A and B are shown apart, each in its own frame.
Chain A
Amino acid sequence: DVKVTQSSRYLVKRTGEKVFLECVQDMDHENMFWYRQDPGLGLRLIYFSYDVKMKEKGDIPEGYSVSREKKERFSLILESASTNQTSMYLCASSLGQGGVYEQYFGPGTRLTVT
Chain B
Amino acid sequence: AQTVTQSQPEMSVQEAETVTLSCTYDTSENNYYLFWYKQPPSRQMILVIRQEAYKQQNATENRFSVNFQKAAKSFSLKISDSQLGDTAMYFCAFMKHGLGTGNQFYFGTGTSLTVIP
A binds B: no
A-side residues, CB < 8 A to B, are: none
B-side residues, CB < 8 A to A, are: none
